[in-house]
Structure 1
Amino acid sequence: MNKRKNYLLTDNGVKAIAKQSAPTKRTRHSDGDSLSLIHDPKGSLYWVMSYRYQSDKDIEPKQKTYHIGTYKPSSQVIDTNFKPEVSLKQARLARDSAKKLLNDGIDPNEHKNRHKNSYEQKDLFKFIAKNYMSEKSKTTSKNVQKLQGFLDNHILKHIGEYPIGAITAQDIIKTGLAIQTTFEQQGKHTSETAHKCMGLISSIFDYAINTLGHDIVNIASGRNKALRPHKAERMKAVEQHQFPELLRNIDSYIEKHPNGHQQTVAGLQLMTLCFVRTKELRFFEWSEIDYHKSVWRVPAHKMKMRQDHIIPLSSQAMAIIESLRPLTESTGYVFYNFESNKPYSEAWFNQALNRMGYSGDPYPKMTGHGFRQLASTGLYELQFSESIIEIQLAHLEQSSVKKRYDLSAHLAQRQVMMNKWANHLDDLRAGKAVSFDLLTPNELAKEMDSRNEQATDIALHDKDILINSLRAQGVSQQVLARLAEQL
């Protein structure tokens, strides 16, 4: 009697089978020792182990099949980047584990079912995601609502009920492709949301591993490569030559929309002058204004970069702010929605712009964020330096105390820039021809000198606050003296 041969298949041999056309009927490729690769007519390949088992209810042993896992789903293409879900080596190890169970008198299929059903609710992806969102909301509220929307609207309906340890790479890829298809059906060729959902799934896997101690691999990492690449679109905004008409439409907003609010006009006007992020303006508090220095100090917790931000206020900006004092000072906020008894919502600016026609008809699409884009382009045309513009846009993230005070060193230039910008907008509004020439070197030097003293005062003021805060925390005088020298 010939001895049965084992290890008949090779990695290259299995890959060659995978590249073949799907057979007309199910085909079995034996590796020996009860392990086989099944090629399905639909094109998928999967591993099975054949065995015989007699339970207490059986008169004699029955022939059974143990499904180990998928080598390649029917939809996957074999290319240079292909990786099997369950490789030949992994299939052999799973077969060996199943045989050990048989030697102990345990049916591997029954063991698998018991294990599958033994997951607790806390192991389900949806519960881990809930914990992740809860933890994230404690550290920062930024985008938490948006991330929750990704889960509720797109992710959980696909993998929410799965134990996280049972989710496969293909489960995640199919989820991402389904989300992408949803947006394709809406006429969008690429979907930023699909890519962000894949990133969120990966973050939840990391949370499960690093925080909750799940002994799994983050198989979600890198799966967004299965999606069509997303090309970021330019933020919607009018062009520079359309800016003057936008300014005039803002000024006449209440005249054309009698139900409009004075605060909406003031908010849009202030956005054109200060070009902060809409959230920073919506939650602008009276206590953040330094009247002596004519600056608005936005605390770090309100900023995207999580650092304090100083906004020099032109005389035009101060006039707009002061016009609101009789209306909102008692609330603590410069802008306050009395109908809902809280600051205005994210939709505040966009709704007003839509009413003015900046929704694609008759004017181009425009959003609240678009004012930052308009200011950036306009200031570059006015030939201000990139570093000053980027600092004022709060794009530069500072990582040390000294860098923080480097910002104050540029405050004089920023004050010049913000005043020039306010005057530039007045010229646009009035329809004047705009010259993009800067001051002569002598004129610039004279104006800068007159402001350097004020900028130094602000820097020293911030320095004193920091030193006093550290002293109250018990930092030694010697360390404080060295720090003061560096600042």
Structure 2
Amino acid sequence: MPKKLSKALTPLQVKNAKPGRHADGDGLHLLVKKTGSRSWVYRFMLDGNARDVGLSRCPEAMELLRRSGGEELTLAQARDVAAIYRMKVKAGIDPLAEREEAAAKAAAAKQAQQVASVTFKATAEAYIEANEDNWRNAKHRQQWKNTLETYAYPFIGEMPVAEVDTPHVLTVLEPIWKAKPETAGRVRGRIEAILDAAKVRGYRKGENPARWRGHLSQILPARTRLSRGHHKAAPYAEIPDILRQLRTRKAVAALALEFTILTAARTGEAIGATWAEIDLDKAVWTIPASRMKASREHRVPLPDRAMAILEAVRKLGSPWVFPGARGGQMSGMAMAMLLRRMKSEVTVHGFRSSFRDWAAECTGYPHEVCEMALSHSIGNKVEAAYRRGDLFEKRRRLMAEWADFCAGGSAVSGEVVPLRAASGPQNG
């Protein structure tokens, strides 16, 4: 049998060692690369397999260097470290597994420290930045930011997102749940989305404390709100009388509402209209795809009364067709508040239903003409594929008849109730 090596190397041999592997005995080896760099390795047997573990930068070696002030292990120091590892192996400890476990714990501690520094506000801002390009319009993006800044950030904005739990979510929602149900619902949904994103990014674990079904639904009362698709509408026979009342009100909101009714438009389409969308010569209002629910450009034929309204509001000198009291875009609630002051229970959106009922019961226009007047998508995919036009001329005749009906069946005079001074238009 070959003689077992023990302390075979000398300090001089270590200093002058050529590239290769040099055994000192008892499992200790000096590795020298062609570049001249050198390192100490301890070889041990475990479960019948030979394994190497580096010693030059292990915790024990770093402690020895710290005490001695050296930069590299000396031969004597390498033997001392190897002796520590030799005892670990005899005790049944795998040095490599031990090192990997220590590294995993250190990485976990570092990650936990990083996660603890990620706040709900930072996560929310990252979520908004990542998703805002997919949201329909600037108003929606601003609403996300405003509602979080107003209702969520004061309570949980600076909290680690990993620590946000049900009591914190309730602190945000309970003060507004009954007073502002629609806003509260949106805030809850936005918090839920942000916390879901945080979980995907590894910032938090467990269930989402902002989840409604099976969670907050057991704590908060169900909100009473107007269901989508069931907007209170006036019978179409009452529309002429409603418009007569509107024309007695000297307000931009009254003109905006009448215009909205005459064009069967949605609230957002009407209050967001700019003069760049209006062709006064051709009496056409072209709403860009970016402002339409179906994300398709929509051309609206303008009957005489709608044109008369436009001629009146053009004197206000605003880039918005229907400016607000302070000169910017009209508030989305301006027309709704006007209806309330008129003691009416109908909604602005409900007038679209009134128009559709009138078109179905009082005219002979085909279904698709009426649906296109409301900018509804064609449900039948085959029909949609073959129908490339927008039936504009037929819709022009339809809207002219609707305007005539709204005027009580009489000819449209084009007379507009005088506006207040352009310097101070009112919304209600």
Q: TM-score if structure 1 supplies the norm length? A: 0.50
Residue 132 of structure 1 aligns to a residue whose secondary structure is helix
Contact 1:240-1:374 within 8 A present in 2 as well: yes
* Shift, 1:300, TM fit: 1.6
CA distance in 1, matches of 2:235, 2:260: 16
The structure 2 residue matched to 1:317, chosen from 281, 287, 306, is: 306
Residue 212 of structure 2 aligns to a residue whose secondary structure is helix
* Shift, 1:136, TM fit: 4.6
Superposed CA RMSD in Å reads 4.4
Contact 1:313-1:418 within 8 A present in 2 as well: yes
CA distance in 1, matches of 2:359, 2:272: 26
Pair 1:379 & 2:359 matched: yes
CA distance in 1, matches of 2:385, 2:246: 35
Pair 1:336 & 2:348 matched: no
CA distance in 2, matches of 1:404, 1:303: 20
CA distance in 2, matches of 1:429, 1:208: 61
CA distance in 2, matches of 1:331, 1:119: 49
Pair 1:145 & 2:131 matched: no
**What is the aligned partner in structure 1 of residue 295 from structure 2?**
306
- Larger RCO of the pair (alpha carbons < 8 Å, separation 6+): 2
Aligned residues with identical type, % of pairs: 25
CA distance in 2, matches of 1:387, 1:174: 51
Contact 2:115-2:203 within 8 A present in 1 as well: no
Pair 1:271 & 2:252 matched: no
Correspondence 1:259-298 to 2 at 5 A: 261=251, 263-291=252-280, 293-298=282-287
**What is the aligned partner in structure 1 of residue 120 from structure 2?**
125
**What is the aligned partner in structure 2 of residue 353 from structure 1?**
339
**What is the aligned partner in structure 1 of residue 190 from structure 2?**
200
Question: 1:302-354: CA deviations, max 9, x gaps?
Answer: 223322111111222223223344x14x54443335x6343333343234334
CA distance in 2, matches of 1:429, 1:218: 66
Residue 408 of structure 1 aligns to a residue whose secondary structure is coil
Residue 300 of structure 2 aligns to a residue whose secondary structure is strand
**What is the aligned partner in structure 1 of residue 24 from structure 2?**
none
In structure 1, the gaps of 5 or more residues are 1-99, 255-260, 431-487
**What is the aligned partner in structure 2 of residue 224 from structure 1?**
212
Correspondence 1:403-414 to 2 at 5 A: 406=387, 408-414=389-395
CA distance in 1, matches of 2:347, 2:277: 25
Q: TM-score if structure 2 supplies the norm length? A: 0.56
* Shift, 1:298, TM fit: 0.9
Residue 256 of structure 2 aligns to a residue whose secondary structure is helix
* Shift, 1:249, TM fit: 1.1
Question: 1:351-409: CA deviations, max 9, x gaps?
Answer: 4334xx23xxxx233444343343344334436555433332234289x9x95993624
Larger Rg: 2
Q: Aligned residue pairs: how many?
A: 301
Correspondence 1:452-463 to 2 at 5 A: none
Contact 1:247-1:429 within 8 A present in 2 as well: no
Contact 2:368-2:378 within 8 A present in 1 as well: no
CA distance in 2, matches of 1:365, 1:392: 25
In structure 2, the gaps of 5 or more residues are 1-96, 412-428
Contact 1:391-1:407 within 8 A present in 2 as well: no
**What is the aligned partner in structure 2 of residue 244 from structure 1?**
240
* Shift, 1:290, TM fit: 3.5
CA distance in 2, matches of 1:215, 1:127: 11
Contact 2:246-2:258 within 8 A present in 1 as well: yes
The structure-2 alpha-carbon separation of the partners of 1:298 and 1:112, relative to structure 1 and needing over 3 Å to count, comes to closer
**What is the aligned partner in structure 2 of residue 160 from structure 1?**
157
The structure-2 alpha-carbon separation of the partners of 1:241 and 1:177, relative to structure 1 and needing over 3 Å to count, comes to farther
Contact 1:154-1:179 within 8 A present in 2 as well: yes
